A and B are shown apart, each in its own frame.
Chain A
Amino acid sequence: MSTAVDLRDPSTFPSRRVEAWKYTDLARVLRETPPPSPTVETAPGGPFAALGGEEIAFANGRAVGADAFVASGEQTLRLRFVSDATGTGHSASVRIAVKPGAKLTLLESHEGAGAGYVASYRIDLDIPAGAEVTRVVLIDEPADAISVSVAHVKTVPGAVYRQTTITSGARLQRQETHLAHGGEGTEVTLDGLYALSGERHTDLTSVVRHGGLNGVTSQLTKGVVRDTARGVFQGKIVVERGADGTDARMGHHALILGERAEVDAKPELEIYADDVQCAHGNTVGNLDESALFYMQQRGIPADEARALLTQAFLIEVVDRIAHDGEREVVREWLTARL
């Protein structure tokens, strides 16, 4: 499922004929290498600025300062991918290492300005025993941008990793997470939330590979699509031979609020071990008409009632974010978009 997209080489742009890209046809919207994006400046900040911490920023793919980070102790890192480009392309990769026992809050923002740019990012994250990483990814891009972002996360026994991705989509957008699960004592939470309107498209794809005993994974993705937007969820959990006692749960639930909007979900469990507990649930529906009428009967206008019900549906994912600060930033961002 991991296809490395190299913007310099159009032959690496997958089309829907590649199974893993069936719903996200990159080759259809991107045929040639885009001209390179110009150098731009960016001031420190971003959506998580109020939460403090260190900052690593990439502006149109170029590192503003350091392009790698080693976390020790208790730290907050704001990882910013800033795009300010029109019709051009850029890419960046960053490696984040975590020392044993460290607690890292990784606040990642994809901040897009301009139009029609193409961005490609890769993040490598290694989490050793006794370390804890909470990663919150907030993606806010123009409606006509194209972006692909791939994270490779490696956990060993005794590591904790929590991830929540929140996005409003783009012309074609994909967030991939590949996670090597350490097993014993390792707890992984992998959540996602999408709220799409217009012609936006997002694709949240993940592969969690359980390689050790007694690993725990909990995955919850919720989304709402309006107009002609399209949401894609592909979640795969692999339990390898010998990874007995694995407990993995995956849920994806979406609301379709536009007659021509679409959601494609592909949950997959591949189990080669014994005595495992694995489950996946997937639902796609509409807002409850009787709830809508009930709210209107009490005086809440139809649009406000819809927004309130939609937010109530999505908020479960936001509520799972452990820290108050990030949760509030995400909640406000979401409320402003419903």
Chain B
Amino acid sequence: MLKINNLHVSVGDKPILKGLTLDVPAGEVHAIMGPNGAGKSTLGYALSGRPGYEATEGAVDWRGESLLDLEPAERAAKGVFLSFQYPIEIPGVPALTFVRTALNAQKRARGEEEVSAPAFLKQVKAASAALKMDFDMLKRPLNVGFSGGEKKRMEILQMALLEPSLLILDETDSGLDIDALRIVSEGVNALRSPDRAMLVITHYQRLLDYIKPDRVHVLAAGRIVASGGPELAHQLEAEGYDKYLPQAA
């Protein structure tokens, strides 16, 4: 479903990803683990089209179509969703307005009919209840004054409403206590489906106890250096990343 082939990405003049190759078949959850500075967040930004993250070589094929030439909003309309490690605060735009604007923009881009205000409210009420979110919070400007856990729930709520088909979770567990982690993970697991692919980017194995991956990949120095089943995550937790670091090679 997602095929990344020999991807090179530079930020400014600095090469970060140096020939990354990865296949994520439909219905699978793949974890990307790696030490700090390996290029994990860069992968998420490159797939979602953040300005300044320039693909200098290689290809990204998403459901038979090249992603790299598309604008960020076009990629979103094609189902790409990046859950941010640090979700951005948008002062002056209520969360509800934001999500409805995004949803309808995606629907317009796909030539679908926009969702009406009452239908949208109904969806939001159900989705926010499932994530144990206070509905009134959604009337406040997006993420402004939200706690770390509330921001992450807000990301999962957007995921549930926008129904993306490629979910990229960048360090979703950071800043979450154990209860919040459980709620957020349940939200993510509810979205597992045969027509979705998920990339779970994480430094620690902890999140993978809650979101069980089909495959685990180690990203070090801009490339996938090892791949395996869920047991690889446990091995990394026990042994650390030392043997994957460049000086150990």
B143–chain A nearest beta-carbon distance, Å: 9
- A123 at the B interface (CB under 8 A): no
Chain B residues 94-115 with CB under 8 Å of chain A are: 98-99, 101-103, 105-106, 109
Whether B101 and A301, one on each chain, are in contact in the complex, defined by CB atoms closer than 8 angstroms, is no
Whether B106 and A315, one on each chain, are in contact in the complex, defined by CB atoms closer than 8 angstroms, is no
Docked pose: A164 CA to B50 CA in angstroms: 39
Q: Across the two chains, which residue of chain A brings its CB closest to B168?
A: A297
A259–chain B nearest beta-carbon distance, Å: 17
The contact size tier of chain B is: 20 to 34
A303–chain B nearest beta-carbon distance, Å: 10
Docked pose: A300 CA to B90 CA in angstroms: 13
Q: Which of B72, B81, B102 has the most CB of A within 10 A?
A: B72
Known: A311-B92, A313-B92. A297 touches B105 (CB 8 A): no
Whether B50 and A312, one on each chain, are in contact in the complex, defined by CB atoms closer than 8 angstroms, is no
Mostly, the A contact residues are helix
B148–chain A nearest beta-carbon distance, Å: 16
A92–chain B nearest beta-carbon distance, Å: 37
Q: Which of B49, B81, B93 has the most CB of A within 10 A?
A: B93
Stretch at the interface among A151-159, A236-244, A287-295: A287-295
Which residues of A sit under 8 angstroms from B2, Cβ to Cβ?
Answer: none
- B60 at the A interface (CB under 8 A): no
Q: How many A-B residue pairs have CB under 8 A?
A: 76
Q: Which of B80, B105, B158 has the most CB of A within 10 A?
A: B105
B55–chain A nearest beta-carbon distance, Å: 16
Which residues of A sit under 8 angstroms from B109, Cβ to Cβ?
Answer: 299, 301
Q: Across the two chains, which residue of chain A brings its CB closest to B45?
A: A293
Docked pose: A296 CA to B102 CA in angstroms: 8
Q: Which of A296, A299, A302 has the most CB of B within 10 A?
A: A299
Which residues of B sit under 8 angstroms from A308, Cβ to Cβ?
Answer: 93, 101
B88–chain A nearest beta-carbon distance, Å: 4
Known: A289-B51, A299-B73, A300-B73. A294 touches B103 (CB 8 A): no
Whether A291 and B105, one on each chain, are in contact in the complex, defined by CB atoms closer than 8 angstroms, is no
Whether A294 and B84, one on each chain, are in contact in the complex, defined by CB atoms closer than 8 angstroms, is yes
Whether B162 and A291, one on each chain, are in contact in the complex, defined by CB atoms closer than 8 angstroms, is no
Which residues of A sit under 8 angstroms from B93, Cβ to Cβ?
Answer: 308-309, 312
Docked pose: A288 CA to B51 CA in angstroms: 13
Closest 6 CB pairs of A and B: A312-B92, A299-B76, A299-B106, A296-B72, A298-B102, A294-B88
Whether A309 and B105, one on each chain, are in contact in the complex, defined by CB atoms closer than 8 angstroms, is no
Q: Across the two chains, which residue of chain A brings its CB closest to B44?
A: A297
Docked pose: A297 CA to B46 CA in angstroms: 11
Docked pose: A316 CA to B144 CA in angstroms: 15
Known: A301-B71, A301-B105, A308-B101. A296 touches B76 (CB 8 A): yes
- A74 at the B interface (CB under 8 A): no
